[in-house]
Amino acid sequence: MDTELGILKTGKEGDVFMLERATADRSSLLAAKRYRSREQLQFSRSQAYSEGRSARRSRDNRAIRNNSAYGKAISAQQWAQAEWGYLVRCYEAGIPVPYPVQIDGTEILMEFICDPEQEHAAAPRLQQLSRFDPRLPSLWDQLTAALEKFAGLGIAHGDLSAYNLLVSGERLVVIDVPQCVDLAGNPQGFDFLHRDCMNLCDWFASKGLPNDPDELFSSLLGHLF
């Protein structure tokens, strides 16, 4: 039995809910990300992320280009499928993402990343950590290891910042992956990767851990090639 326990996050494209999945003798907390229905949709993902992707039917591609109500619904379904696919690929590659449980239409069920000190509370975002948090050096090491594994798959997160990294105790977790870009297939792929490096190095520098974004970028290219 699944029981909703409240909303965790709202956004233009969808909402994330906390869910308890239980049997007679065990239970677990999960996160359910639900892309909005056609009537509620305000889909805003940049098409630059999805260059090279296309719907199977030409009618669907036209609808997406025309931004019709039907096109928005198809686009939401594509993004949900993309997020599911990237979650599975990343998890299997050892990248610290939430464990993917199931996809049903435009709803994705995944591991709930909690705050170890509060079982029913979501883990804080990296953005919320203070300059003096002793975990910062370890979190940087975990982050660079994750970026190297992304590069090893030939993809970049594309929208990585301190806002879509969770800190569960000592563990760093990457979230929000539907916009991942293929570094070979997307003409802007390397620009997205460099932007990720800039965003992350700038944030850690603001906390007293300076790193060279161009050096990080070059290192990741080495893992790609």
DSSP string, 169-180: TTEEEE---TT-
The better pLDDT of the pair 126, 1 is held by 126
Of 157, 15, 36, nearest in space to 93 by CA: 157
pTM of the model: 0.84
Length of the chain: 225
pLDDT at 177 over 50: yes
Question: What does the pLDDT look like over 180-193, one tens digit per residue?
Answer: 999 988 999 999 99
pLDDT at 28 over 80: yes
The better pLDDT of the pair 65, 116 is held by 116
Exposed, middle or buried: residue 101 (CB in 10 Å: 0-12, 13-18, 19+)? middle
The rounded distance, in Å, linking the Cα atoms of 28 and 113 is 11
pLDDT at 52 over 80: no
Question: What does the pLDDT look like over 56-87, one tens digit per residue?
Answer: 555 545 544 555 555 455 656 788 899 999 99
* pLDDT at residue 119, rounded to an integer: 76
State the Cα torsion 190-194-197-198 to the nearest 10°: -160
The rounded distance, in Å, linking the Cα atoms of 62 and 56 is 11
**pLDDT exceeding 70 applies to what percent of the chain?**
82
